[in-house]
Amino acid sequence: MKYPHPLLAREGWPFIGLAFVLSLILTLVWSWKVAIPAYIVLVFVIQFFRDPPRAIPDLANAVLSPADGRIVKIEKVRDPYADRDALLVSVFMNVFNVHSNRASVNGRVRAVHYFPGLFVNADLDKASNENERNAVIIDADVNGEHHVVTLVQVAGLIARRILCYVHPGDALEKGQRYGFIRFGSRVDVYLPLTAVVRVAPGDVVSATSTVLATL
């Protein structure tokens, strides 16, 4: 399931190609001035689907951010996917963030659960329970201790497609690309109650390179 990070996400290639062809046609048939809106769309699509490589912090017990964005919630809740009390850290992504999702910990996928739902603004609290979402439960072994980390991809107001490429039994490594969400959304991270959170609401985080917590 490793992905070589070719700078532009594979999910975006068809969209980038379509925007480029449309811009080229408008330029050739009419003029570059007529094609300006199409070029603006092309630039937006390219920046949305960028997928840069990221440095992985050298900290064995670190839980890395699975997404770029802003921390919108940190609180003790019930993890409905792994049926346990947990610490929830929510990362909200806007349309200008990188939308490639990366594994937060080394571990093995215990289960993957998909839930159809609504498409309300992902910045709202109710999005975690009402929106379309996909949960990946990971059994992580950190320094000989077993921990459970749940990553939940949540669709947003504009996002209409959650992509997840892992299955039960798959091994994951920190920073490994495991999914993608198109056009604005959030990722909820459910941690053990013993985790020490290293971020605060309002913080801007980067996938893989930001440490959300330590186990």
| CA dihedral sign of residues 55, 159, 130, 178 | negative
Instruction: Give the angle subtended at the CA of 20 by the CAs of 15 and 24, to the nearest 5°.
Output: 150
The number of helix segments (H) and strand segments (E) in the chain equals 3, 16
- Which residue in the block uniquely carries the two structure tokens 């769309």? 41
State yes or no: is 31 an active-site residue.
Answer: no
Q: Tokens at residue 180, please?
A: 């993608």
Q: Which of 23, 65, 90, 185 is catalytic?
A: 185
Neighbours of 69 (CB within 10 A): 27
- Which residue in the block uniquely carries the two structure tokens 């975006």? 12
Instruction: Give the angle subtended at the CA of 7 by the CAs of 167 and 128, to the nearest 5°.
Output: 45
Q: Please give the Cα distance from 12 to 39 (Å, whole number).
A: 16
Give the catalytic positions in this structure.
Answer: 185
